[in-house]
Amino acid sequence: MATYAEMQQIFDDIRGDFRYDHELNGCLNCGICTATCPSAQFYDYSPREIVQLLWTENVEQIYDAMQEKIWACAQCMTCAARCPFKNSPGGLVAIMREVAIKHEMQSAKDVLRPFGRVMLKLITTGNQLSPDMIQPDHFPDWGPNIQKVEGDLRILRKAIPVKTLQTVETAWEVSLKTSVEMYTIWEMTGVLKSLELMDENLFDVIEDFIDEKREDYEEWLEEQEEDDGA
């Protein structure tokens, strides 16, 4: 359990985010956000509660909400579209999640740990899925809707014969230059630092991969310079 001073620091970091004042403009307590929230239908989660907690600045209850409730938000932003005060509970939740990661809260680690494979795939290839992977047999939990998606993809592939991102091979065939640019962006925006805070082992694996790619890219640049000089 965090001390009150630690809870206050967490709230100060939330309130100090440049998006905070834009996302929180008071609350009429009308309940429209919760009434239209998909997550509120299935989880112990209320967008209105998040807004109320932040508006009243109850640091202890805010800290409590960051243990579980904020991770139920689907980030669909229906709340932001419906709020008559133009609040964005989903946007506030995004800030709270980022602060939870910054403070290495156990709730963040527990929620994000299962996504390690997804993160590894995204950082090493730039993509998680390619169109030809979306097949009814691969996603039985999607129900009948996958049949519609899969059918549309077949039509699109015939209509667009150019080989772009249609297969696993081309979707995951990322150029060295693009890879290095992605890694640089993730470093400069703090993504890799956040990853290190949440999963040090996964960070080490990805860092080794990035170092190898950068070495390959430097070698490629040297070869290009030699070819140009010749």
Domain annotation for the chain: domains and CATH numbers? 4-103 (1.10.1060.10), 114-229 (no CATH)
Contact present, 72 and 81 (Cβ < 8 Å): no
Averaged pLDDT for residues 197-204: 93
Q: Which pLDDT does position 189 carry in this prediction?
A: 92
Output 22 or 226, whichever has higher pLDDT.
Answer: 22
Q: What is the pLDDT of residues 28-50, one digit of tens each?
A: 899 999 999 999 999 999 999 99
Q: How many Cα atoms sit within 13 Å of 149 on the Cβ side? A: 15
Confidence of residue 178 (pLDDT cuts 50, 70, 90): confident
- CA distances from residue 175 to 105, 127, 163, 181 in whole angstroms, order as listed: 36, 13, 16, 10
What's CA 55's distance to the chain center, in Å? 25
Contact present, 119 and 195 (Cβ < 8 Å): yes
| This prediction's pTM | 0.78
Averaged pLDDT for residues 49-69: 95
Q: Which pLDDT does position 69 carry in this prediction?
A: 95
Least confident of 52-61, 132-141, 161-170: 161-170
- Token pair of 9, please? 């620091």
DSSP letter at 165 equals S
Catalogue the E-assigned strands of 165-230.
none
Q: Which pLDDT does position 117 carry in this prediction?
A: 83
Averaged pLDDT for residues 8-18: 97
Distance CA 108, CA 66 (A): 9
Q: What is the pLDDT of residues 76-106, one digit of tens each?
A: 999 999 999 999 999 999 999 999 999 999 9
Least confident of 31-35, 142-146, 197-201: 142-146
H or E stretch at 106:
helix 106-112
In degrees and rounded to multiples of 5, residue 174 shows phi and psi of -95, 135
